[in-house]
Amino acid sequence: MMRFETGDLLDHVGKDPVVITTNGTVRKNGKANLGSGNAKQVGEVQPWLDAKLGYLVDQFGNHVHHLDNMIVSFPVEHSWQERADLGLIKRSALELVMLVDQIGWKKVYMPLPGCGKGGLRPSDVIAILAPILNERFIVLNKEAAG
């Protein structure tokens, strides 16, 4: 089963495979809407991210994509206006496992999908992910403030 650790996803960008939670919205300029969560944070340190994700979503749909630099998109919402969708999270988890198997990564760092701005209850998301994600997947929780 997936593991849980305290840590910041940004600390792993460029060093380890990381997953960012995304939506399926592509703007008129062809760039993805990175929302206001971890995708936005990673996009601030990887300025190419919104253009690459926008292209892949436009060409291949709202799916798990290896963007580059060991960054993987993980759709949790169909569009930025919607709440996270448990069915989409399940599909994304299955796609993520296939991608990680294909590449051969031993460790992948990720947030708990759909539980921040997506509005889902962690227990509901964990119940979906637990049978799919194994010990290679490390869910990071930021340390609680003070």
> What are the sequence ranges of the domains in the chain?
3-141
Global confidence as pTM: 0.95
- pLDDT band with cut points at 50, 70 and 90 for residue 116: confident
Domain 3-141 is in which class? alpha beta
Instruction: Identify whether the C-beta of residue 21 lies closer than 8 Å to the C-beta of residue 38.
Output: yes
Categorize the per-residue pLDDT at 146 as very low, low, confident or very high, splitting at 50, 70 and 90: very low
Structure tokens at 44: 């601030």
Q: Which of 57, 2, 65, 47 is nearest to 25 (CA)?
A: 57
Cβ-contact 58, 5 below 8 angstroms: no
Quick one: average pLDDT of 37-64?
97
